[in-house]
């Protein structure tokens, strides 16, 4: 085994962000000690917390720290305190700025159900059979990054948001999705609104042309309205879903609900090979839960295990942590959001402590560690 040294930038952000990232960092530390790796964590201000401390949601220092890191762990951002600020100066602008500055054009959101949590899915069990897919959302273009205008007052007010894609932008994210599908069940579903939108027409043409390079991958195209319905009707049909920035934002919340709670789903945002990727739970900052020790840390912890696999090539380490989580869930412990009616809910810190003691109970064997990257 080659012990790894990695620098991880930690952006706790707002609301429940700091508590869930703390849990993920503790578990990454346990992993480093168990496997002989060394992770250096550098905490940096971001989002609303950075507006309060430094006057901007993405301070220079934070951007530079992220660029210099091997990977970035982010909590969550935003809250009512900053909602009155103009659009481009709010905490969300920090997140969009970071995505843009680091050119994080791929966003991966794995929809995997934990066996012990199938009962909390809003879908009937038989519909969940075989449900295990990934959403790949384009993250650096689309209506998110076109010009936004809001002019005038009252009934004369007018607003517009420009949606734009170039073929090159579509192709680079589509290529990643094809590669991903090729390594999985070889099915790619591209989601667009090509019956109405020009950007979607370009999207579909580009994906169709690229498909020729991947003859082993079966490609379907769905309109986004139908895709939203199919995710509920028959989620097992999906392997890799590829879609644009706005549709991906919406469909990934819907798909997360299938897993039982949005609090469980991690994400990776990445750009070119060799550049630092960013890992964050897809849930928001949940300001009403902040500081009450009720938030579920699993979205953040699964973001950490995704980091171990995707950025550091540490598959065994990642599996070791996820197996401990499954054992804690099997023994019936839950945070409030994932508790079944009448079930026992513990606080976020006790839940994390239980995972950590499971990690101690089944120590990592040196022979089980990953190859490293």
Q: List active site positions.
A: 144, 193, 225, 249, 253
Residue 15 · residue 46 · CB < 8 Å: no
DSSP one-letter string for 34-96: HHT-EEEEEE---THHHHHHHSSSS-HHHHHHHHTSSEEEEEE---GGGTTS-GGGSHHHHHH
Instruction: Please report whether residue 138 would count as binding Mg ion according to CB under 5 A.
Output: no
Q: Among residues 304, 359, 322, which one has the least CA distance to residue 71? A: 304
Instruction: Please report whether residue 134 would count as binding Mg ion according to CB under 5 A.
Output: no
Instruction: Please report whether residue 92 would count as binding ligand IPM according to CB under 6 A.
Output: yes
CB of 51 to ligand IPM, least distance (A): 14
- Cα 221 from chain centroid (whole Å): 23
Tell me the residue number closest to Mg ion, measured at CB: 249
Instruction: Please report whether residue 73 would count as binding ligand IPM according to CB under 6 A.
Output: no
Instruction: Please report whether residue 92 would count as binding Mg ion according to CB under 5 A.
Output: no
Contact string (CB under 6 A) for ligand IPM, positions 216-245, x = contact: ------------------------------
Residue 271 · residue 287 · CB < 8 Å: no
Rounded Cα gap, residues 33 and 26, in angstroms: 11
HEC profile of 242-300 = EECHHHHHHHHHHHHHHCCCHHHCEEEEECCCCCCEEEEECCCCCCCCCCCCCCCCHHH
Among Mg ion, ligand IPM, none, what does residue 95 contact (CB within 5–8 Å per kind)? ligand IPM
Instruction: Please report whether residue 169 would count as binding Mg ion according to CB under 5 A.
Output: no
Q: Which stretch binds Mg ion (CB under 5 A): 78-86, 100-108, 155-163, 244-252?
A: 244-252
Instruction: Please report whether residue 249 would count as binding Mg ion according to CB under 5 A.
Output: yes
Helix-then-strand count for the chain, H and E? 12, 12
265/301 with CB nearer Mg ion: 265
Instruction: Please report whether residue 142 would count as binding Mg ion according to CB under 5 A.
Output: no
- Cα 95 from chain centroid (whole Å): 13
CB of 250 to Mg ion, least distance (A): 8
CB of 121 to Mg ion, least distance (A): 20
Instruction: Please report whether residue 282 would count as binding ligand IPM according to CB under 6 A.
Output: yes
Q: At which residue do the structure tokens 């508590």 appear?
A: 19
238/279 with CB nearer ligand IPM: 279
116/136 with CB nearer Mg ion: 136
* Binding residues for Mg ion (CB under 5 A): 249
Residues lying near ligand IPM in the complex (CB under 6 A): 92, 95, 249, 282
């Amino acid at each position: 085994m080659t012990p790894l040294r990695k620098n991880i930038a930690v952006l706790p952000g707002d609301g429940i962000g700091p508590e869930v990232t703390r849990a993920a960092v503790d578990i990454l530390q346990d992993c480093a000690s168990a496997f002989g790796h060394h992770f250096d964590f550098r905490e940096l201000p971001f989002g609303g917390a950075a507006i309060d401390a430094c006057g901007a949601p993405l301070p220079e220092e934070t951007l530079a720290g992220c660029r210099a890191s091997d990977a970035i762990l982010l909590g969550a951002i935003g809250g009512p305190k900053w909602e009155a600020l103009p659009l481009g100066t709010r905490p969300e602008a920090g997140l969009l700025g970071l995505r843009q500055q680091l050119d994080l054009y791929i966003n991966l959101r794995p929809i995997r159900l934990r066996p012990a949590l199938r009962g909390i899915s809003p879908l009937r069990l038989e519909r969940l059979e075989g449900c295990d897919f990934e959403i790949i959302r384009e993250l650096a273009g689309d209506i998110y990054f076109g010009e936004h205008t809001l002019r005038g007052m009252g009934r004369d007010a007018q607003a517009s948001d420009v949606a734009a894609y170039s073929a090159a932008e579509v192709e680079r994210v589509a290529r990643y999705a094809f590669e991903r599908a090729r390594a999985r069940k070889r099915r790619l579903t591209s989601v667009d609104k090509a019956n109405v939108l020009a950007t979607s027409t370009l999207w579909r043409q580009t994906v169709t042309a690229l498909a020729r390079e991947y003859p082993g991958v079966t490609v379907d195209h769905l309109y986004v309205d139908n895709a939203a319905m199919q995710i509920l009707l028959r989620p097992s049909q999906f392997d890799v879903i590829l879609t644009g920035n706005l549709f991906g934002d919406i469909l990934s919340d819907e798909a997360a609900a299938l897993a039982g709670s949005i609090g469980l789903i991690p994400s990776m945002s990445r750009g070119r090979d060799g550049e630092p990727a960013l890992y964050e739970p897809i849930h928001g900052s949940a300001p009403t839960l902040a500081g009450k020790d009720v938030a579920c840390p699993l979205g953040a912890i699964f973001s950490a295990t995704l980091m171990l696999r995707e950025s550091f090539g540490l598959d065994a380490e990642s599996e070791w942590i996820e197996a401990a989580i499954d054992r804690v869930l099997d023994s019936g412990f839950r945070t409030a959001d994932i508790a079944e009616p009448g079930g026992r809910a513990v606080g976020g810190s006790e839940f994390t402590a239980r995972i950590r003691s499971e990690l101690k109970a089944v120590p990592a064997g040196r022979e089980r560690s990953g190859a490293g990257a």
